[in-house]
Structure 1
């Protein structure tokens, strides 16, 4: 039986980490960058930058995204029960920054078109988009975890994308020249 590496708050009596400490910890774990998009019942587009995206299962193909309570994108997504996950390529940094801002006219500043469920596809900034139907949601703390069944995948150029990454509070791209530095296989 393995021993715990760290005392947990439940066993040590210590308080859980403060939000800034937790954010600092998670900033050391680089992740891909996506923009989650949807439309409201009136057809108005909504979207936000999201690094909390993961695959859940391949049968049926399902993604998980985590959006904060109070987000207008979350509200629209819950009303229409559909969303798109735009996976950004290395030239998509400006879109990532735009969709993490409070700019109310963000869709006027980029090229996009609606996917099969109406959710916007970011034409110049995403190397691929997954169109999803909401399967279920789960409220956890200050976020809502949304499970989406992937109904369609659309790939954009380039054919071999260099994904946009985020870590240590910085955007970077995957180096095509040496993607597996230190790989000893």
Structure 2
């Protein structure tokens, strides 16, 4: 069977997709929760909550994260040279909610530390990945940020899990 690449498929051949069904289907995919941060050339910190995050490569160590073009922080990340990814603990869901909102002071309350690359990171995160920007890719109404990991730190604890539009925790059985 020959793979079909989206650029080779005539748009009229695609079956209709119910947008709400697609959204509901994606809500059923459980994922970890991260806060991604950077600093702009003026030294101003920016960040957003992301569940679209994954490891891409071990050699070289690469991760990706997806950001909506409509996000207030889009311009800062589209041109950044470095960013940090903080993997959240179950008890840090309030931070995820704060960073998911527009128009809030995301870095208030002093729950951040400065990483080795000079970018703020969540204090006490389950894991921290500090990255240099490698490339960006257009992806519909989002952009994919590819980062080369140059520093990683891990800690023990339970992860924040997002499933069906709410935060959950893992239960050992």
TM-score bracket, shorter-length normalisation:
0.7 to 0.9
Q: 2: CA distance between counterparts of 1:77 and 1:142?
A: 15
Cα deviation for residue 12 of structure 1 reads: 9.5
Equivalent residue for 2:135? Answer: 136
SS at match of 2:41: coil
Cα deviation for residue 35 of structure 1 reads: 0.6
Equivalent residue for 1:120? Answer: 120
Cα deviation for residue 113 of structure 1 reads: 1.7
Equivalent residue for 2:157? Answer: 161
The one-character-per-residue Cα deviations of 1:3-41 (angstroms, maximum 9, x if unpaired) are xxxxxx979955442332211111111000001111111
The answer to whether the 8 Å contact 1:52/1:65 transfers is: yes
Equivalent residue for 1:104? Answer: 104
Equivalent residue for 2:5? Answer: none
Q: 2: CA distance between counterparts of 1:23 and 1:81?
A: 32
TM-score, normalising length from structure 1?
Answer: 0.82
Aligned Cα root-mean-square deviation (Å): 2.1
Q: Measured at CA, do residues 59 and 112 of structure 1 come closer, stay the same or move farther in structure 2, by a change above 3 Å? A: same
Residue correspondences, number? 166
Equivalent residue for 1:95? Answer: 95
Equivalent residue for 1:30? Answer: 30
Kindly report structure 1 stretches of 4+ aligned residues shifted beyond 6 Å: 9-12
Equivalent residue for 1:148? Answer: 147
The answer to whether the 8 Å contact 1:38/1:73 transfers is: no
1:45 aligns with 2:45: yes
